[in-house]
Amino acid sequence: MIKICGTGSALPAKKVTNDDLSKIMDTSDEWISSRTGIRARHLVTTETTTGMAVEASRQALEQAGITAEELDIIIAATLTPDHVLPTLACEVQATLGAVNAVAFDLHAACSGFLFSMNTVAAYMQSGVYKNALVIGAETLSKIMDWNDRGTCVLFGDGAGAAVIRNLEEDGTNGGLLSFAQHSDGARGSVLACGNRPVQHPFAQPREEENQNVSMDGQAVYKFAVSTVPKVIEEAVTKAGLTIEDIDLFVLHQANQRIIESVAKRLKQPIEKFPMNLQACGNISAASVPILLDSLNKDGKIKPNDRIVLAGFGAGLTWGAAVIQW
């Protein structure tokens, strides 16, 4: 059984409300909250992606009751590591002293935590590794155009983590039951962020890329509401279950209207779709593990609950997994 045995999360101390934003740009709480549900987000002041990831990881290890030395693999899902090199996963490994783990980053934008979890599960199913740490951590505030009110108001910073173990010998059922994941690079331009320009002495001049996030909001909205219900149904069917068997749907926290639309399309009550986007905004790869950790710590998940985790975002990428707690 491949099981989530511990969770953790960390948010920056600085909370920035919609009203705070309206003092520095032409926006309002009414505009942001009515279109997205978001009322506040946490933004780094002194915190780092690595520092938040380490804090979330320590909590997850403590809850799982294992030491950092027992980890075989660390995958960090991020699009905003502190450095290009070394990777976030290696920086976390060094701080935790997880000397026996292989560590690397996986970049799948808002689907990153989910794809990382599915990757460690595949290693575990083939018997390669037993104990994994999966992290989703972002400092999205550093890749926002703070003059673009259409994007910067949507995102926040933070980190979540989960310790995932292959407990094959414990004889109980449950854990990860199934997953499904997809990409469509042909539609990638709807949510984009450029990289550093090529500037070596032999380079030809090229058109400069926007090094901040740019988004066709309506195209992203249509993509999310059409693909997410389908991939959830695909994963649930693979698990041999029906949508009615699912107790909780923990979706990427992009937008309340997207989540409400998915609930409607799946004909499920909105109460099964917990949200934290009101207080945290969209934290890309960190959204799902932060929400999972708060549900776990608040006692909102009961043993044997069947939970769908779903991610979707840039790439385009999207996926879902079914777990039994």
- List active site positions: 110, 252, 282
**Residue 143 in contact with residue 134, Cβ under 8 Å?**
no
Q: Which residue of 140, 191, 288, 309 would you call a contact of ligand ACO, by CB under 6 A?
A: 191
Burial classification of residue 32, based on how many CB atoms lie within 10 Å of its CB (0-12 exposed, 13-18 middle, 19 or more buried)? buried
Q: CA 309, CA 285: separation in Å to the nearest integer?
A: 12
Q: Segment 115-154, which members bind ligand ACO (CB under 6 A)?
A: 149-150, 153-154
> CB-wise, 33 or 100, nearer to ligand ACO?
33
| Site membership for ligand ACO, residue 187 (CB under 6 A) | no
> CB-wise, 94 or 215, nearer to ligand ACO?
215
DSSP track, 192-217: EE--PPP--TTPPP-PPPP-SEEE-H
* Cross-strand bridge partners of residue 132: 73, 164
| Site membership for ligand ACO, residue 225 (CB under 6 A) | no
- Best CA proximity match to 42, nearest among 275, 213, 287, 280: 280
> CB-wise, 75 or 224, nearer to ligand ACO?
224
Instruction: Please name the amino acid found at residue 132.
Output: A
Binding mask 241-280 for ligand ACO (x = CB under 6 A): -------------xx-------------------------
Q: Which residue of 8, 136, 313, 315 would you call a contact of ligand ACO, by CB under 6 A?
A: 313
| Site membership for ligand ACO, residue 36 (CB under 6 A) | yes
Q: Quote the least distance from Cβ 113 to ligand ACO, whole Å.
A: 12
Stretch (H or E) spanning 70? none
| Site membership for ligand ACO, residue 97 (CB under 6 A) | no
- Best CA proximity match to 294, nearest among 308, 313, 318, 277: 277
- Give the interface with ligand ACO as residue ranges (CB under 6 A): 27, 31-32, 35-36, 110, 149-150, 153-154, 191, 215, 217-218, 220-221, 224, 254-255, 282, 312-313
